[in-house]
Structure 1
Amino acid sequence: MNGMCIVLFILAFASIGTCQSVQSTARTPECLHFSSKTSGNNHISQGFGKRIPKPTGTGHECSHNLSHWLWHETENFRTWAMNSTFVTGVRDGTLHPTSFGIFMLQDAIFCLEMSKSFQVAANQLSNGSLKSLLEHEVKSYKRCGDELLTEWHIRNAPAIVVGAECQEYIDNHVNATRDEHPIYGIVAAIPCLRLWPWIGQQINLQNHQYGVYTDWVNYNFDPTYDGYKKLEVMTNEFYAKGLIDKDKALHYYAKSIEGEAAFFDSVKP
């Protein structure tokens, strides 16, 4: 086992049960690239193209409730996330601590990059409720990323290199906020915020024991969390005003939930 893996292994055991943040990144997406490895130079990532399902495509017409339609059109990605190596590993308490640590460090970078991406969207607006919501997300994701790095005793965030799956996930949100109306930054962020409590609901229904990951699962996959709803309300309001194209919204939404599932599935058991 190389030195980096030893450090991650020790840190994982030290922080399991106390890690209480979600995702983030400290450099621009263009500077991040894939290099995470385990001992023996085996890539932690298993490839963004692995077992990727297509959007469910229920054929249902989209009513005024765009967020409801987007959620149901992407059901297959939720199933993928639920069966991913990370989720099943923490669910069963069997995920290798090194893999847990590598995921958490990338998650910190994800959050920091999301904060930057939200800031790009917010800067396009002079005022209003959408700008306020975007600025709230800027602070929220920045706080989550900073807390994760602090818990893992990381001072130099740019030294963390994310995998291909995490990078593609980041890039989707960056593309939405850079190339589209700022509301698409909200649309692309909903899957992450809604998927985690949904996973918690499924896990609770299955009555699993989480072993050393019990505290982490109970906090991060909290089935009662509903913070995503304020983003859905804003999305539905903009759609009702004709300011969102549903097909474009589905593109960014599906890429986000696909990215979440692929990121979950990029770790080794």
Structure 2
Amino acid sequence: MSSFCDEMWVQCKHIAEEGYQTAFIQGICKGTLDPTSYSGFMNQDIAYVFKAAELFDTVATRAKDEDLKMFARNRQQSFLRCANEMCEKFFIQDPSAIRVGETLEEYCQYLHRVANGMDPLYFMVAMIPCSKLWPWLARKMQHSEVNPNLYGFWAKENMSDSCSAKLESFVAERVSELDEQTSLLVYQTCMTAEVNFFKSATGEEISDISNLTAKLPVRLASA
């Protein structure tokens, strides 16, 4: 992991800690989460993964750099495989029929703006928080003193950090092409949006990210 990505994580770790304390994650830890809340969240997550795959395709199409184009295509295929596996697991025949809530919709709209309106490399930064937060939460659960319960599989299934490692490695090699403050803004916004998504599953009050999204520069760099 690069020191650049390390620093972004350090500056946003308090948001990750907030994510661990959400009713959704604590409900998984303690086995008290309403199964309806869990299934509703995971159905929406399927829609999110398909949307991410779509946006990786957008980035690959826009990118002029061949390495970036190839990396985005590889990530797109990886996310599509994951999304299709989730559909099989949850018996979803038509993922386009999944209705997402306002919180996830706001998150996806932000990712859309990054993918379509900024240098394609910033979309890789935007995807790090999701891929890094889930395995961090899973490991934190594993090391807690909470007894195993019916949601124990969640931690086991989300333990791998290979996705975040690939994204961080790619970004690290091109850090000179990024504006650090803009990268941190994108990272912070997406980390907050991830935690908001957890909160929305149980009706918790979400954090306002409008002040962050309003700062997003458009066409910051050439595609």
Structure number with larger C-alpha Rg: 1
- The 1-side partners of 2:4 and 2:101 are apart by 32
Of 153-162 and 256-265, more deviation after overlay is shown by 153-162
Offset of residue 129 of structure 1: 2.2
- The 2-side partners of 1:157 and 1:169 are apart by 18
Of 109-118 and 172-181, more deviation after overlay is shown by 172-181
For 1:76, the equivalent position in structure 2 comes to: 14
Aligned residue among 101, 111, 122 for 2:49? 111
For 1:231, the equivalent position in structure 2 comes to: 167
Q: Deviations over 1:115-155 (max 9, x none)?
A: 01111101013553222221111111112222222222222
- The 2-side partners of 1:217 and 1:229 are apart by 18
- The 2-side partners of 1:137 and 1:168 are apart by 22
- The 2-side partners of 1:228 and 1:194 are apart by 5
For 1:138, the equivalent position in structure 2 comes to: 76
1:14-163 superposed matches below 5 A: 65-126=3-64, 128-163=66-101
For 2:213, the equivalent position in structure 1 comes to: none
- The 1-side partners of 2:116 and 2:63 are apart by 13
Structure 2 segments unaligned to the other structure (5+ residues) = 204-223
C-alpha change, 1:100 and 1:210, in structure 2 (3 Å) is farther
- The 2-side partners of 1:94 and 1:76 are apart by 24
More helix by share: 2
Q: Deviations over 1:60-106 (max 9, x none)?
A: xxxx7321111111122101111112111111111111111100100
The aligned amino acid for 1:246 is: E
- The 2-side partners of 1:209 and 1:107 are apart by 26
Aligned residue among 162, 175, 180 for 2:113? 175
Classify the secondary structure of the residue corresponding to 1:95: coil
- The 2-side partners of 1:164 and 1:136 are apart by 29
Structure 1 segments unaligned to the other structure (5+ residues) = 1-63
Q: Which runs of 4+ in 1 moved over 6 A?
A: none
The aligned amino acid for 1:189 is: M
